[in-house]
Amino acid sequence: MANLQLERETSIGMQVEDLWDVQESKLNPTQKLNACFENIPVSAFPHTPQGIEIKSDASLAEAVQILAQNKILSAPVVNVDAPEDASWIDRYLGIVEFAGIAVWILQQSEPPSPTNQSPTGAESAEASANGMPSSAELRTLGSEDASITAGDFFEALTSSEFYKKTKVRDISGSFRWAPFLALQQSNSFLTMLLLLSKYKMKSIPIVDLGAGNINNIITQSAVIHMLAECTGLQWFESWGTKKLSEIGLPTISRNQLVTVHEDEPVLQAFRLMRKKRVGGVPVVTGDGKKAIGNISLRDVQFLLTAPEIYHDYRLITAKNFLLAVKNYLEKHDTRSPMLSGMITCKTNETIKELIQMLDSLKIQRVYVVDDDGNLEGTITLRDIISRLVYEPPGYFGDFFDGVLPLPENCRV
């Protein structure tokens, strides 16, 4: 299976290589790459081995367990009430994520606004009928920030009836798309790469219209892995040997970098990520110029899957969170990228070197530092893909018509 996967990844690189040689000489390298990727269908992309789906009537606890056991961050939610012959758009409710579950729970824990101090009679009745507390009752688990960031808060939360009985379908407002933006197998690599970069999608389901199901899921990480396997090919080397500074990386400079101080509650890190719509923040010390670690949205899983590791902490600060997770992983998962420490690079390194590092360590971002170790910016997988292709004028046309964006009341 692994050899077949490698063959398909290498095959994509060779297809680009063959197409590269026949492109018009008047095209510049970026235009050539665009033309090459436009001529390769996404059906050629290696299939992910997971194929994990979560039923809409699964509880939050069950969903978290499924994601954790399969070491994935998200999965499609199947509508159990859909008929057997339903189309894919009716078969799926959306994609549920670790981060979406955690953020949704935290939203219920936050103090009510002045205009909504108490639950309505309807809310209380519905909650009672379902055998779970109302949102106001849940807030008693953490009515103040100090309570929410106490070491035993998430241990109490994950033991609560609310967590065990709330269904995945009940938090559909936290899904990124309703149901989600998907591609058909005939769509091009260029379309896929643009959606993963310019349009900020972390993963794209590929649907089989005939079968009415998801045929594949392509992630930013999978694209970076594919690129790493193209080392040595002419088209890749002509692009990959450029220095980061030559292709405009990092795009996020020091002044734009969102950071969290080591002594701040860890929830501040996740709230900042939600508010600023970023996937990770560096944990900084002192004057904020140097970082001791990174907290990303994927790390929120540890608040739900291993809440007991914070039990001895009076307050779960960003620094305590990093230490507790590190100790936990040293005992349970020594291959975790979180044990690699603070991963950095410099602007004089090449894009190829950066791709190889990100792929080998299985991480989502790297921080750019100067010769003294001071933060200068960050580079994500999306940033790299965005430097590989560009969107031609009018390329998507009416592609997004009919796509339902985030619900208005969703804050994920």
Check residue 101 and give its pLDDT: 83
Question: CB-hemisphere CA count at 13 Å for 58?
Answer: 20
Give the number of other Cβ atoms within 10 Å of residue 71's Cβ. Answer: 10
Q: Is 294 helix (H, G, I), strand (E, B) or coil?
A: strand
Check residue 373 and give its pLDDT: 92
Do 131 and 119 contact (CB within 8 A), yes or no? no
Do 127 and 136 contact (CB within 8 A), yes or no? no
Domain ranges (residues) in the chain:
244-388
Measured over the CA atoms of residue 291, residue 295, residue 296 and residue 297, the dihedral's sign is negative
DSSP string, 296-364: EGGGGHHHHH-GGGGTT-SS-BHHHHHHHHHHHHHHH-TT-GGGG---EE-TTSBHHHHHHHHHHHT-S
Query: Do β-strands 213-219 and 203-208 pair in parallel, antiparallel, or remain unpaired?
Result: antiparallel
How much is the pTM? 0.83
Rounded CA-CA distance 43/350 in Å is 30
**Residue 139: which of 129, 123, 130, 68 has the closest Cα?**
123
Check residue 122 and give its pLDDT: 39
Place of tokens 């692009």: 239
In angstroms, the Cα distances linking 235 to 22, 114, 117, 239 are 12, 59, 60, 7
Query: Do β-strands 183-184 and 203-208 pair in parallel, antiparallel, or remain unpaired?
Result: parallel
**Residue 13: which of 206, 235, 194 has the closest Cα?**
235
Place of tokens 């970069």: 197
Check residue 43 and give its pLDDT: 94
Rounded CA-CA distance 226/363 in Å is 15
Check residue 14 and give its pLDDT: 92
Do 328 and 298 contact (CB within 8 A), yes or no? no
Check residue 175 and give its pLDDT: 61
Q: Is 376 helix (H, G, I), strand (E, B) or coil?
A: strand
Radius of gyration, CA atoms only, the chain: 22
Do 141 and 160 contact (CB within 8 A), yes or no? yes
Q: Is 251 helix (H, G, I), strand (E, B) or coil?
A: coil
Tens-digit pLDDT profile for the chain (412 aa)?
455 454 555 689 999 999 988 887 788 889 999 999 999 999 999 887 657 899 999 999 999 999 988 888 888 999 999 998 888 888 998 888 887 787 777 676 665 555 444 444 434 333 333 333 444 444 443 334 545 566 777 888 888 888 899 999 988 766 655 457 889 999 999 999 999 999 888 889 999 888 888 889 999 999 999 999 999 999 999 999 999 999 999 998 889 999 999 999 988 898 888 788 888 999 999 888 899 999 988 888 888 888 888 887 778 899 999 999 999 999 988 888 778 788 999 999 999 999 999 999 999 999 999 999 999 999 999 999 999 999 999 999 888 775 544 434 333 3
Residue count of the chain: 412
Between the CA atoms of 260, 266, 271 and 276, what dihedral angle is there, to the nearest 10 degrees? 30
Instruction: Taking each helix axis as running N to C, give the angle between helix 266-276 and helix 98-109, from 0 to 180 degrees, rounded to the nearest 10.
Output: 110
User: Homologous superfamily of 244-388 in CATH?
Assistant: CBS-domain (3.10.580.10)
Check residue 26 and give its pLDDT: 82
Check residue 143 and give its pLDDT: 36
Rounded CA-CA distance 71/60 in Å is 16
Listed in order, strand segments (DSSP E) in 13-101 are: 54-55, 74-78, 92-97
Can you read off the two tokens belonging to residue 355? Answer: 């791709």
Q: To 5 degrees, how large is the angle CA 374–CA 380–CA 386?
A: 125
Check residue 10 and give its pLDDT: 65
Rounded CA-CA distance 54/62 in Å is 9
